[in-house]
Structures are given as C-alpha cells and as structure tokens.
Chains A and B, each alone.
Chain A
C-alpha cells in the first residue's frame, strides 16, 4: 500500500506527536517516581496523576511578583520552559524519524539545557533575596562541573559512532556496529551521574526538601509563584524525562523505530519507550531511597568523578583503536 503522506510529512507528524508526548508524559514520569519512592518508604504515596493536579493548581493561583523584580524575573519561567521543551523534542524517544532530528545534535542539547539553567539562575538572583542567590550560586557550581562531564561523554560516544546526532548514534547502535565496549559503559556511568546532578536528584540535591541550608533548586525558585512556578516545575519534569529518554535512547536503543517503517513498528517503539522509562523510574527510586544526600561541597568530587569517567571513556577508545 502506498503511503498517503510523503516522508517529510511523516517526519513532521512524528515530530508533533513527540513534542506533545514529552510534555504530556513528563508529570506522569515525575508522579511515577514519587509513587515508587513512597512505596519503598512504606507509604501509600500520592496518586500517579498528582503532578498534573499540582501543575493545574499552580496555574489557577494568583501570580505574585516581588516589587524589586525586573522583566527578567517575569520572562525567565517561559524561557526555561521553552528551552526544556525544545531540548526534549530533539531527543528521539520512539522513532528517529523526526523532522527536527538533523537540527539537534548532543552539543546543541547541552547548550539548550544551559540556556534554561542560565535564565533560572539569573531569575534567582534578580529579586535580591539571600536564598535566591545561594541557590543560583550552587546551581552554577553544579552546572560548571556537570557540563564538561556531559560534553566529555558526548565526545566519547561521538567518536565511537562518528556522529553527534542522537538519531545517528541510535541508528549506528541499532545496525550492530557497537558491541559491549568499555568506553560505552564508562560513558553510560558518566551520563547517569550527570543526569542525577542536573535534575537535582538525591546525592546532589533533594527534590523533596524545603530545608533552607541544603536546598539548591528549590532555593532558586522560592520567589516564583502561580503560573511562573508551574512553568518552572513543568520544565524540571520535562528535563528529567529528557534525561531518562536520552539514557534509554543512547544506551538501550532497541525498539526505537528507524525512518520508513510501518506504523505498527512505530507503535511498538512507543511501547518499548514507555517500558524503558518505567524501568528507569523504578531504578531511580530504588537508588534514591538507598542512599543519602551528600554535602554540597562534595558535589565537586562527585561530578569530577563523572568528568573523569568521560575522560577515561575517551582514553580507552584510543586503546581499542590502537589494538
């Protein structure tokens, strides 16, 4: 049967589905992790849809802005949300046949995430409260260490697969060019560590804390309320989903549909994606439940470790080339 749509139109269609999917799914991912964690703690936990209700509630509330806030403070939530959204829409989830896939490589992804973080830190400092400043400076401390680690990981993967585009890497792995390589394992470890730090998960920051001295992300967004807060919260959820999708896509790509396959296989890819995300949510919940948060000043050691793992991945790449 001939397809009704041209390949380009199909790519645009999948892209639109992906764009909607990441936003629609992100609160559910967040809710699932919370539910898993609550179960592991022996609590019943909030229902899976609680994150949607939280966002809805925040959207209904009045948005208060401090008198000392500038336009920057008001614009930041939208920039943060938009950058996270665009970043999430270029990471292949269920198919690599995306209209935006050629535009977004891993380096652009890092840059997009950095834009969001930069605005968030600026908004944190804009109002001039102490907590906003603390949060912003800590966030930048973490970012300055996490970004090189992420780039290093990107470089070693790109050297293996000879492309920096996620779609290209996935296709390369799916065609069976990459075996169980030491470098890839090290890159995976580095990416997991970076993902934990960037999303403010437990060894670095506690997403559930409201204790002033230990919080990083929550301190920055303390002054935001109403729909501004909803935007920032949603951006955080999207970013978490993005990292999970990135880990699942780059290292366990099986199931992701390549371009030009029938709809049935794409649906299969969708199922595989949801399954992988569910497994990762469970793993994250177990990990977060079993360890304690580390002191803020130990994050340098943690992320330095991630950077070194990325570096080692590149070193071992050259060893296996020399052999």
Chain B
C-alpha cells in the first residue's frame, strides 16, 4: 500500500514542474528561458524517478534518464549553441505582456483542474492531482507557444508542452516504455528540424522574429 507521504512528494515535484512552467512565462531573456527549461526537465526527471520508486516500475527510471540526458542537458545545450551561432542575444517582447500571460496561466491551471477532476472521477483518487498538474504544465507550454514571437521561445514552449505530456504519462500507471521512447525521439527529430528552420528563417529575414512571416499570409478576411 502506498502511503500518503509518497504521493505528497510526487505532488510536490509535480508542482515544481508547474512552477518552472510559470517561470518560463516570466522570463524575458533567451538565456534565462533556456536555463529555466533545463530546470523544468530536471524536475521532470526527478518526478519520473520518484514515480518509478513508488510504483516499483523500473522502466520509469529509463524515462527519467531520457528526460535528464536529452531534455535537461542536450536540448538546452544545443539551443544555447544555436543562439550563439545565430547571434541573437535578446528575446523579442512577448505578444502578450508578462503579467497578462501569468494571469492567463493561472486561469489555465484553474481550467485544467476543473476539466481533470470530473473526467477522472473513477480513477485512483490520488493520481488525479498529478493529472491536473500535468494538464496545467501542458496548457502553460501551449500558452507560451502562442504568446511568444521569437522562434526559439516558441520551440521551448513546445518542449514544455511535451514535458507536461510526459508528466501525465509517468503519473498514470502502466504506460509502456515504447510510447515514451518514441515521444522522446520524435522530440529530438523535431528539435533538429527546428534547428534547420532557425537557420532558414534567419538567412531570409536576418531575425528570428516570426512577425516577418506574416507577410507571406494570404489576405486576412
């Protein structure tokens, strides 16, 4: 029987992931965003390792390892390198102000709680809070993808969204490793493609501000 204390630690780590999600929304400088993302991945790895311990599911240790190596170390390093290579130092102002996006973030957390609690009424009672946390992380990542103008921060938002998915996956029982492996590798592939896109966008516009892409749109109705 799992004790209440084990779940409380799990929730605490989950809340740390969520807090780093808010910290991502709060940061304005590119370097700080990348470091915060690394921190989030670190917290995610801790969450996965803790779930592996309390569920006695050794394959979750591999998930934790993947999160640690790829997302906490490799992806931030590559993005740092990209930022260095492309010579962009400052993030552009977000499309939505920091304060407004934080308020929206809290609203999204409330929304995900309202969504998750009734839907999972029959699930094991104590995993519901974890699911609510994971859903919030996911929505915050989505919010970040929407509200940032810079391509690098949008990619970070996408990765944060994926962190939310993994958090949900590890807190639900019986998620097979294959799924996580494929998700992790698809993110790496996405990462490579994004890298190429960065170079292409930069070559064409001398900037990573995606505002420039708007001129390629059809006329808006």
Contacts and interface: CB of A to CB of B under 8 A. Distances in A.
A278 B110 CA distance: 38
Contacts of A305: 22, 26, 102
Interface string B11-45: 11011000100100010000000000000000000
Of listed A304, A315, A316, residue having the most chain B CB within 10 A: A316
B109 A186 contact: no
Contacts of B117: 319, 322-323
Interface stretch (A96-104, A176-184, A220-228, A249-257): A176-184
Contacts of A300: 99
A323 B126 contact: yes
A180 B22 contact: no
A300 B22 CA distance: 15
A311 interface: yes
A185 B15 contact: yes
Nearest to A302: B26
Nearest to A300: B99
B113 interface: yes
A180 B14 CA distance: 12
Interface string A295-323: 00000110011001101100110111011
Contacts of B8: 179-182
B183 interface: no
Interface string A167-204: 00000000000011110011001000000000000000
B103 interface: yes
Contact of A308 (B12, B103, B133): B103
Given A182-B12, A308-B22, A319-B113, A301 B102 contact: yes
A180 B9 CA distance: 7
B129 A308 contact: no
Contact of A301 (B26, B113, B128, B133): B26
Contacts of A318: 113
B132 interface: yes
Contacts of A181: 8, 11-12
A323 B130 CA distance: 11
B109 A312 contact: yes
A304 B12 contact: no
Nearest to B128: A323
A314 B116 CA distance: 17
B182 interface: no
A197 B132 CA distance: 31
B98 interface: yes
Contacts of A311: 106
B157 to A, nearest CB: 18
Given A180-B5, A323-B125, A301 B98 contact: yes
Given A319-B117, A323-B129, A179 B4 contact: yes
B110 A315 contact: yes
A304 B98 CA distance: 10
Contacts of B14: 182
A180 to B, nearest CB: 4
A308 B132 contact: no
B129 to A, nearest CB: 5
Nearest to A301: B98
Interface in B52-102: 98-99, 102
B165 to A, nearest CB: 20
Contacts of B128: 319, 323
A189 B70 CA distance: 29
A253 B12 CA distance: 19
Contact of A179 (B5, B26, B129): B5
A250 B133 CA distance: 25
A308 B15 CA distance: 14
Contacts of A301: 26, 98-99, 102
B12 to A, nearest CB: 5
Nearest to B99: A304
A304 B102 contact: yes
A320 B26 contact: no
Contacts of B4: 179
Given A301-B98, A323-B126, A182 B103 contact: no
Q: Top 5 nearest A-B pairs by Cβ distance?
A: A180-B8, A182-B15, A179-B8, A182-B11, A301-B98
6 contacts: A179-B4, A182-B11, A182-B14, A182-B129, A315-B109, A315-B113
Interface of A: 179-182, 185-186, 189, 300-301, 304-305, 308-309, 311-312, 315-316, 318-320, 322-323
Interface of B: 4-5, 8-9, 11-12, 14-15, 19, 22, 26, 98-99, 102-103, 105-106, 109-110, 113, 117, 125-126, 128-129, 132-133
Given A179-B4, A189-B19, 8 more contacts: A180-B12, A182-B12, A182-B133, A185-B12, A186-B15, A301-B98, A301-B102, A315-B110
